[in-house]
């Protein structure tokens, strides 16, 4: 395909859409499908036939955001958004809204409400807007333009420079500058280099990457191809969780379409640049989100991390220089090249430019997928966008970063969301899971819950993590059951420091975070569960009738 | 040439045919195809195991030996990979599968209570299958439908905002439809 052909294709698709009488978009992401959005689609089709509305179409799109109120439907003609659309309501919408021009007010969502108005969409700009199963729709909204421009007009180092100037930082959680990573890989002398997309979204309570892959897979492919061009790689891999069958299906389809249209494969846009993408399906191991473990897994081995350095950008997959970026990071690449690095750098905060996608869940009124500018205070996310905790309950903590993060109490809610600010309260940005807890949550048990997760997912390679997580979990269980003393808490704190300082990879280094942050902000809950320190004396050989460590 | 006694009389098998299975089970042809698409490369081990589990339902020892030989990898490594990843099953699954999401959002909304109720109902713990082979209880890390928490996936259909009573009722319904579930 040439650039002219790309523009022609875009024009043709725009004309086709303009010719459609009514265009109804329904959310076909996992959340809404679970609520029966396929039945909604069928009802719309039946209603079109019943009313003789030919030249109308029902289109499945990616996540529309408000997952708790599904199935969601958007009328493309006028932008009206509906919640909880069952089959009956679908018929009413066609009769009253489309035919008679009177929107069904009681199911209408207000687009000016804070949930929608406070968001800034870059990564999710096409989610809920285009049909993820048709490359034409992606191209019609400017898709693959950035790749075409990069290949035709820019030198690889100019692409790297543009990404570096944008200030984009890794969205997987650690926040390493993407441009720097690319530059190291670009400069590494090697015949063969690789680009890997880390789609092993393992944090429980996080579904941002899945939504992007399901709703806008071509955006990720385009970002990968641009990365490939920038560093000089001809092969990319997407490492995606087996638990995301719909995302896998959509990616397979998207890769096939992209190859057929010549935006992936050989001689992309008539240049000398070749780039292929293959899928690798994960098999359920949290540690594979760690880049060196992920590389091992792609090579068909157990996902056990390797010491760094060497970093993958110097020596990664099959020993070759490899750039590993998270889904959300790669989804930012095409917009950066399209609008320029200055545009991106102006969004968010100077240290953390751009936006961040969060999966908002837990004890909150409006759950779903949101994208906000970096630097927005947590309070606005939770109370304006999320609507606060359900009636009759009180906000207690916001958990970010999953098993690697911490719990942020009410007094720190005015903290701006960026990498450094979250670290000051012992949490991390993480990949974007944001779980709200109310007064019913027991914070000691929350810490135990996450430690159980880390214990089960520890790969067992290094002793601090393998042994430490087991002991920390046992101590937390002992405390939660009211059988511990202040000595146990002191031991727990000591273990936290040891595991944090001496573990091989990020899993172990961050596993103590949920314990440390709950100890820091909710210590009273720990103290309330403690018994008196029992001293073993000859007259009291079996204090309280239990041996040491009994649980 | 060696001959093998299989159903329908002895069949001649070429001596170098390392990738056909002596049982004559046709499903191995499907597996061979999957192995060939990856050029029998050892780095495709996980892909091949996914294919094998898709074809056979679970990875029994015989199958692991077969894969190890086809990909020319030591059996220890194949077994190591099979046991490392949660997704691979070494035992057959029950006729029904109850996948309970144990992600953070579901935990905050009481998935642990559902877990206890279901374990009590079925008489086995999550990660196990009832002795009669009726139901497998699987604890998922996160199914990513946090907006609908607590969530379970029952035989591929998602049950949103589940309660303990509802969860037990679903198992009862399976019970009524077939011959018995658990204890």
Contact A503, A543 (CB under 8 A): no
* Residue A401 and residue A367 in one domain: yes
Contact between A449 and B81 using a beta-carbon 8 Å cutoff = no
Higher-pLDDT residue of B23 and A363 is A363
Contact list in A for residue B88 (CB cut-off 8 A) is 283
Contact between A207 and B144 using a beta-carbon 8 Å cutoff = yes
Q: Is residue B91 part of a domain?
A: no
Q: Name the residue in chain A with its Cα closest to that of B42.
A: A300
Range of the domain at B74: 2-84
* Residue B13 and residue B71 in one domain: yes
Cβ partners under 8 Å of residue A154, min gap 6: A162
What are the start-end ranges of the H helices in A71-134?
Answer: 87-92, 114-117
A 446-505: CB under 8 A from B:
449-450, 453, 459
Contact list in B for residue A297 (CB cut-off 8 A) is 46
Range of the domain at A173: 142-345
Contact between B50 and A298 using a beta-carbon 8 Å cutoff = no
User: Torsion-angle region of residue A421: left (phi > 0), alpha (psi -120 to 50) or beta?
Assistant: alpha
Q: How far apart are CA A392 and CA A383, in angstroms?
A: 15
* Residue B103 and residue B127 in one domain: yes
- Largest interatomic CA distance in chain A: 92
pLDDT, tens only, B58-78: 999 999 999 999 999 999 999
* Residue B102 and residue B73 in one domain: no
> Tokens representing A436?
């709200």
Phi, psi of A264 (to 5 degrees): -135, 155
Q: Would you call A289 an interface residue with chain B, using a CB distance cutoff of 8 Å?
A: no
Q: What is the pLDDT of residue B5?
A: 42
CB burial class (10 A; 0-12, 13-18, 19+) of residue B12?
A: exposed
Query: What does the CA dihedral A130, A134, A140, A141 come to, rounded to 10 degrees?
Result: 40
* Residue A152 and residue A294 in one domain: yes
Cβ partners under 8 Å of residue A11, min gap 6: none
Give the one of A205, A280, A399 whose C-beta lies nearest to B142's C-beta.
Answer: A205
Contact between A399 and B104 using a beta-carbon 8 Å cutoff = yes
Domain count along chain B: 2
Phi, psi of A409 (to 5 degrees): -80, 175
* Residue B78 and residue B105 in one domain: no
Residues in chain A: 551
Contact between A201 and B148 using a beta-carbon 8 Å cutoff = no
Q: What is the pLDDT of residue A341?
A: 97
CB burial of A111-141 (b: ≥16 within 10 Å; e: otherwise) equals eeeebbeebbbbbbbbbbbbbbbbbbbbbbe
* Residue A363 and residue A458 in one domain: no
Give the one of A33, A286, A441 whose C-beta lies nearest to B141's C-beta.
Answer: A286
Contact list in A for residue B49 (CB cut-off 8 A) is 283
Residues of B near A (CB-CB distance < 8 A)? Answer: 41-47, 49-50, 73, 77, 80-81, 84-88, 102-105, 107-109, 140-149, 151, 158, 160
Q: Name the residue in chain B with its Cα closest to that of A368.
A: B147
Q: Name the residue in chain A with its Cα closest to that of B154.
A: A34
Contact between B146 and A70 using a beta-carbon 8 Å cutoff = no
Cis peptide before B150 (omega within 30 of 0): yes
Which of helix, strand or coil describes residue A242? coil
Contact between B103 and A297 using a beta-carbon 8 Å cutoff = no
- DSSP assignment of A281-304: E--S-GGGGSHHHHHHHHTTS---
Q: How far is B81 from chain A (nearest CA, A)?
A: 5
A158: CATH: 3.40.50.11540
Write down the pTM of the prediction: 0.92
Q: What is the pLDDT of residue B23?
A: 83
Q: Is residue B89 part of a domain?
A: no
Q: Name the residue in chain A with its Cα closest to that of B54.
A: A242
Rounded to 5°, angle at Cα B86 from A507 and A254: 90
Q: Is residue A291 part of a domain?
A: yes
Last residue of a domain, one of A345, A375, A402: A345
Cβ partners under 8 Å of residue A492, min gap 6: A472, A475, A476, A479, A515, A519
Q: Is residue B182 part of a domain?
A: no
Phi, psi of A272 (to 5 degrees): -90, 10
A104: CATH: 3.40.30.10
For residue A275, the 8-state DSSP code is: B
Q: What is the pLDDT of residue A30?
A: 83
Last residue of a domain, one of A441, A463, A485: A441
Confidence of residue B4 (pLDDT cuts 50, 70, 90): very low
Q: Name the residue in chain A with its Cα closest to that of B149.
A: A362
* Residue B6 and residue B80 in one domain: yes
Q: How far apart are CA B13 and CA B25, in angstroms?
A: 14
C-alpha distances out from residue A423 to A150, A428, A542, B69, Å: 36, 5, 44, 49
CB burial class (10 A; 0-12, 13-18, 19+) of residue B125?
A: exposed
A 248-287: CB under 8 A from B:
280-286
Contact list in B for residue A459 (CB cut-off 8 A) is 84
Q: What is the pLDDT of residue A543?
A: 53
Q: Name the residue in chain A with its Cα closest to that of B153.
A: A34
In a mutational test of the A interface, the residue from B58, B145, B151, B155 whose CB has the highest number of chain A CBs within 10 Å is B145
Across the range B93-120, mean pLDDT stands at 94
Q: What is the pLDDT of residue A536?
A: 63
Last residue of a domain, one of B34, B59, B84: B84
A470: CATH: 1.20.1440.230
* Residue A403 and residue A476 in one domain: no
Contact list in B for residue A203 (CB cut-off 8 A) is 142
Contact A203, A431 (CB under 8 A): yes
Q: Is residue A127 part of a domain?
A: no
Q: What is the pLDDT of residue B57?
A: 93
Cβ partners under 8 Å of residue A148, min gap 6: A3, A6, A269
Contact A50, A64 (CB under 8 A): no
* Residue B108 and residue B145 in one domain: yes
Last residue of a domain, one of B64, B84, B104: B84
Q: How far apart are CA A148 and CA B175, in angstroms?
A: 58
* Residue B13 and residue B41 in one domain: yes
Contact between A284 and B141 using a beta-carbon 8 Å cutoff = yes
pLDDT at B96 over 70: yes
* Residue A199 and residue A329 in one domain: yes
* Residue B119 and residue B74 in one domain: no
Across the range B160-166, mean pLDDT stands at 94
> Tokens representing A248?
């896998």
Contact between A207 and B146 using a beta-carbon 8 Å cutoff = yes
| CA A127 to chain centroid | 14
For residue A70, the 8-state DSSP code is: P
Q: Is residue A280 part of a domain?
A: yes
Q: How far apart are CA A281 and CA A272, in angstroms?
A: 30
Domain count along chain A: 4
* Residue A205 and residue A287 in one domain: yes
Last residue of a domain, one of A420, A441, A462: A441
Contact list in A for residue B158 (CB cut-off 8 A) is 30, 33-34
C-alpha distances out from residue A150 to A144, A160, A161, A375, A403, Å: 10, 10, 12, 30, 38
pLDDT at B15 over 60: no
Contact A389, A365 (CB under 8 A): yes
Q: How far is A462 from chain B (nearest CA, A)?
A: 15
Residue A293: other Cβ atoms inside 10 A? 25
Q: What is the pLDDT of residue B144?
A: 78
In a mutational test of the A interface, the residue from B82, B102, B146, B161 whose CB has the highest number of chain A CBs within 10 Å is B146
* Residue A319 and residue A461 in one domain: no
Contact list in B for residue A363 (CB cut-off 8 A) is 108-109
Q: Is residue B90 part of a domain?
A: no
Q: Is residue B55 part of a domain?
A: yes
Q: Is residue A539 part of a domain?
A: no
* Residue B14 and residue B71 in one domain: yes
Contact list in B for residue A300 (CB cut-off 8 A) is 41-47, 73, 81
Per-residue pLDDT of chain A (551 residues; tens, 9 = 90+): 899 999 999 999 999 999 999 999 999 988 898 889 999 999 999 999 999 998 999 999 999 999 889 899 999 999 999 999 999 999 999 999 999 999 999 999 998 899 999 999 999 999 999 999 999 999 999 999 999 999 999 999 999 999 999 999 999 888 999 999 999 999 999 999 999 999 999 888 889 999 999 999 999 999 999 999 999 999 999 999 988 888 999 999 999 999 999 999 999 999 999 999 999 999 999 999 999 999 999 999 999 999 999 999 999 999 999 999 999 999 999 999 999 999 999 999 999 999 999 999 999 999 999 999 999 999 999 999 999 999 889 999 999 999 999 999 999 999 999 999 999 999 999 889 999 999 999 999 999 999 999 999 999 999 999 999 999 999 999 999 999 999 999 999 999 999 999 999 999 999 999 999 999 999 999 999 998 876 666 665 555 544 444 44
Q: What is the pLDDT of residue A252?
A: 97
Rounded to 5°, angle at Cα A99 from A97 and A105: 15
- DSSP assignment of A255-271: HHHHHHTTSSBSSGGGS
* Residue A166 and residue A227 in one domain: yes
Q: What is the pLDDT of residue A537?
A: 65
Q: How far apart are CA A133 and CA B87, in angstroms?
A: 27
* Residue A294 and residue A169 in one domain: yes
Q: What is the pLDDT of residue B179?
A: 56
Q: Would you call A312 an interface residue with chain B, using a CB distance cutoff of 8 Å?
A: no
Contact list in A for residue B105 (CB cut-off 8 A) is 204-205, 361-362, 367, 435
Contact list in B for residue A402 (CB cut-off 8 A) is 104
* Residue A298 and residue A189 in one domain: yes
Contact list in B for residue A437 (CB cut-off 8 A) is 108
Contact list in A for residue B45 (CB cut-off 8 A) is 300-301
Q: What is the pLDDT of residue A544?
A: 52
* Residue B75 and residue B103 in one domain: no
* Residue A433 and residue A449 in one domain: no
Confidence of residue B25 (pLDDT cuts 50, 70, 90): confident
For residue A534, the 8-state DSSP code is: P
Q: Is residue B114 part of a domain?
A: yes
* Residue A147 and residue A276 in one domain: yes
Q: How far is B55 from chain A (nearest CA, A)?
A: 16
């Amino acid at each position: 395909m040439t650039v002219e052909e790309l523009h022609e294709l875009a024009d043709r698709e725009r004309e086709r859409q303009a010719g459609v009488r009514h265009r109804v978009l329904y959310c076909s992401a996992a959340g809404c499908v679970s609520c029966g959005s396929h039945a909604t689609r069928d009802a719309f089709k039946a209603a079109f036939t019943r009313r003789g509305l030919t030249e109308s179409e029902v289109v499945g799109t990616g996540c529309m955001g408000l997952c708790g109120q599904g199935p969601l439907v958007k009328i493309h003609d006028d932008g009206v958004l509906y919640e909880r659309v069952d089959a009956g309501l679908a018929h009413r919408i066609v009769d009253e809204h489309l035919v008679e021009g009177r929107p069904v007010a009681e199911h209408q969502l207000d687009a000016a409400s804070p949930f929608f108005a406070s968001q800034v969409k870059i990564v999710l700009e096409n989610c809920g807007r285009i049909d993820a199963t048709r490359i034409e729709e992606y191209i019609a909204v400017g898709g693959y333009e950035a790749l075409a421009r990069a290949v035709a007009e820019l030198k690889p180092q100019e692409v790297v420079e543009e990404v570096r100037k944008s200030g984009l930082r890794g969205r997987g959680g650690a926040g390493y500058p993407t441009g720097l990573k690319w530059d190291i890989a670009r400069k590494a002398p090697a015949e063969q280099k690789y680009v890997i997309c880390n789609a092993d979204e393992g944090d429980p309570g996080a579904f941002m990457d899945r939504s992007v892959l399901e709703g806008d897979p071509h955006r990720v492919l385009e970002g990968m191809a641009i990365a490939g061009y920038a560093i000089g790689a001809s092969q990319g891999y997407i490492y995606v969780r087996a638990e995301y069958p719909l995302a896998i299906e959509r990616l397979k389809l998207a890769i096939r379409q992209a190859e057929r249209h010549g935006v992936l494969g050989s001689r992309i846009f008539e240049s000398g640049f070749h780039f292929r993408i293959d899928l690798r399906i994960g098999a359920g191991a949290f540690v594979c989100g760690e880049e060196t473990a992920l590389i091992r897994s792609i090579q068909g081995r157990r996902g056990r991390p390797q010491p760094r350095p060497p970093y993958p950008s110097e020596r990664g997959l099959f020993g070759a220089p490899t750039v590993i970026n998270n889904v959300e990071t790669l989804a930012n690449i095409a917009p950066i090249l399209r609008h320029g690095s200055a545009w991106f750098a102006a969004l968010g905060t100077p240290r953390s430019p751009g936006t961040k996608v969060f999966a908002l869940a837990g004890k909150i009124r409006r759950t779903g997928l949101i994208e906000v500018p970096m630097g927005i205070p947590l309070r606005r996310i939770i109370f304006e966008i999320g609507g606060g905790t359900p009636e009759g309950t009180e906000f207690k903590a916001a958990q970010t970063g999953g098993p690697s993060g911490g719990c942020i109490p009410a007094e720190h809610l005015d903290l701006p969301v960026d990498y450094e600010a979250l670290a000051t309260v012992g949490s991390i940005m993480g990949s974007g899971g944001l779980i709200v807890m109310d007064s019913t949550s027991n914070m000691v048990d929350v810490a135990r819950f996450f430690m159980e997760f880390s214990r089960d997912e520890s790969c067992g390679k290094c002793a601090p993590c393998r042994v430490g997580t087991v002991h920390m979990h046992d101590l937390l269980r002992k405390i939660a059951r009211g059988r511990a003393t202040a000595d146990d808490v002191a031991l727990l704190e000591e273990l936290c420091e040891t595991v944090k300082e001496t573990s091989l990879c990020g899993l172990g280094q961050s596993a103590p975070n949920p314990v440390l942050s709950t100890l820091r902000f909710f210590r009273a809950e720990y103290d309330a569960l403690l018994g008196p320190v029992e001293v073993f004396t000859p007259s009291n050989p079996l204090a309280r009738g239990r041996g040491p460590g009994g649980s | 040439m060696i001959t093998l006694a299989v159903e329908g009389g002895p069949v001649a098998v070429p001596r170098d045919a390392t990738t056909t299975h002596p049982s004559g089970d046709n499903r191995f042809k499907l597996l061979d195809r999957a192995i060939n698409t990856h050029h029998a490369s050892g780095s495709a081990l996980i892909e091949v195991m996914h294919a094998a589990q898709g074809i056979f339902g679970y990875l029994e020892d015989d199958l692991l030996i077969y894969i190890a030989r086809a990909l020319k990898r030591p059996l220890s490594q194949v077994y190591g990979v099979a046991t490392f990843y949660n997704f691979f099953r070494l035992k057959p699954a029950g006729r029904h599968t109850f996948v309970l999401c144990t992600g953070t959002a579901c935990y905050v909304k009481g998935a642990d209570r559902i877990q206890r109720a279901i374990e009590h109902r079925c008489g086995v713990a999550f990660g196990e299958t009832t002795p009669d082979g009726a139901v497998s209880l699987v604890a998922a890390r996160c199914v990513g439908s946090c907006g609908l928490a607590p969530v379970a996936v029952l035989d591929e259909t998602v049950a949103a905002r589940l309660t303990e009573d509802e969860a037990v009722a679903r198992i009862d319904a399976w019970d009524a439809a077939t011959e018995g579930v658990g204890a």
